[in-house]
Amino acid sequence: MIEIKLEKLSGESKSGSVGKINVKIGDEIKVGDLLVQVETKKGNVSTKSNASGIIKEISIDEGDTINIGDVLFKIDGLKNEECTEKAGGFNYFNNLMKPQVKEIEADITIIGAGPGGYVAAIYAAKQGKKVVIIEKESVGGTCLNHGCIPTKAIVRSSEIYRNMKKADSFGLFAENISVDMKKVIERKDTIKNQLKGGIEYLLEKHNVEKINGNGEIVDGNTVFVKTNRTETTINTKDIIIATGSETSIVPIKGIESKNVLTSKEALNMTSLPKKLVIVGGGVIGMEFAFIYQSFGVEVFVVEYADEILVSLDEDVCEEISKIAKEDGIKLYTGSKVESIDDTEDGESIVSFVKDGKSKYISCDKVLVAVGRQPYFEGLGIEKLGIEMNEKKKGIKINEKMQTNIPNVYAIGDVTNVWQLAHVASHQGIVAVENILGENKTIDYSAVPSAIFTEPEIAVVGITEKIAREKGIEVEIGKFPMSANGKALTLGEPKGFVKIIKDKSTGKIIGSTIIGAHATDLLSSVTLCINNGLTTKQITETIFAHPTTAESIHEAALSVEGGAIHFA
């Protein structure tokens, strides 16, 4: 295996940022082919191949910070001088480049190594199954590489910066506070790569065979993976589809502008724009809105619905909207974006309609965050006859994760049931247990959702809005964080805990928390709902003091006669 390393940079630079990567795993390359651009303050450097062969590994992602001497690619082939060697007219390299035909036997073949696929693979392997997992990019999927983990790493940087700016309220003083986005991104990449390495180690430890490439399902017991170097046929007893999702692109005039970003590009920005327009006020859009506002960017959110985070209850939407506006985020709800036009000075103008009137915002960057859609490319599900759901936006599955072909299962975003990493992981375990003959089903009544705005929002079970739509008679308990001692000591008094009780049974059926540590607090309520506990049982439980968790106890007391520390 030949390693392609970063040999040099412009001027005296020792590190740079990965720009466009021009190859992907499985590509056939020759000496002199352009592999990647690396950007520094002194200029860009092109890294070209000094070998010919097949790209087997790519150790970098666009936006990563890398240093001279770092390994960028691993190639199965020959170096320049070796490629010209021939013996008796035999061209060794040409022979090497012929696809190697392989055949593998497996118990379970998993297509996709995201949080659904790799969890299923490790779990199945621990049960003694021979597992093959196919991944065309990096293990961890969107969640680890371009979503959950990278976003939260940057959220943490923005939180610390926000706290430093208000240090004087704690009796502390900090001067000349600034943001170095290159270091923010470098920290994000370090965390991401550490976790990727951990997953690779676990797959290897449990003898899961990993194949890089696109998996095509030939029939219910055969999966084919073709690259320029190999043609692999996997004969398998069962198949799990875990190919995830991709960014949805809306048909907006000018969407191809160089100033338009998806969440993937936004996670690799090493310089801050002065003004950012975010198209979409859902979870992704609002998380980025609070991140960049914290860093001092002027943020505008344009949302088609009448509220941001429209799936939440009205009181929660009102609370987070009020906080966003207080922080300086400008919200335009009930607005439809019509075009994005570039100006002569390199900026863009976002044109949208609100209340029948045309409005315009000029900005440096536009982040399109309108959601994600299932990814099916190259799977061959049409030829196989795998059924889609009613809206044709995901693979149809039953409660055991089976498709209409009994030994073909589907999990995660590709099913469009819940687009959450932790749901995909749980679905993966359920699928494996059914393959093992355990007859398991999945219950979605206590699925937690975490939104990393500032403050955080966490939701589990059904909302008050949905409960009333279903005709369920409910009682609501609320307790403000401003009455919680721990929240006040943290300097985070915003938000509240809301508990929803089914009046007929006394059981907790839903909860929303907005405030300090909301996403961590939610686990307690999730456990309550999953085990059918009542609000009365919560009131009879001792909560430690002083903690933010006491607000859950107080919200339950609010349902059962009245909170103690709030009138």
Residues known to be catalytic: 545
Give 122: exposed, middle or buried? Use CB within 10 Å, 0-12, 13-18, 19+: buried
Neighbours of 356 (CB within 10 A): 5
Task: Tell me the C-alpha distance between 5 and 74, whole Å.
Answer: 9
Sheet holding 43-48, edge to edge: 43-48, 34-40, 15-21, 65-67
Helix (H, G, I), strand (E, B) or coil at 38: strand
R_g (Cα) of the chain, nearest Å = 26
Pairing of strands 230-241, 34-40: unpaired
| CB environment 544-558: b (16+ within 10 A), e (fewer) | eeebbbbbbbbbbbb
Residue type, 567: A
Task: Put the strands of the sheet holding 51-58 in their side by side order.
Answer: 2-5, 71-79, 51-58, 28-29
Q: Which helix (H) or strand (E) holds 109?
A: strand 100-111
State both tokens at 45. Answer: 């450097």
For residue 320, the SS3 value is helix
CA distance 203 to 59: 17
Q: Where are the beta strands (DSSP E) in 49-99?
A: 51-58, 65-67, 71-79, 86-87, 90-91
CB distance 70 to 36 below 8 Å: no
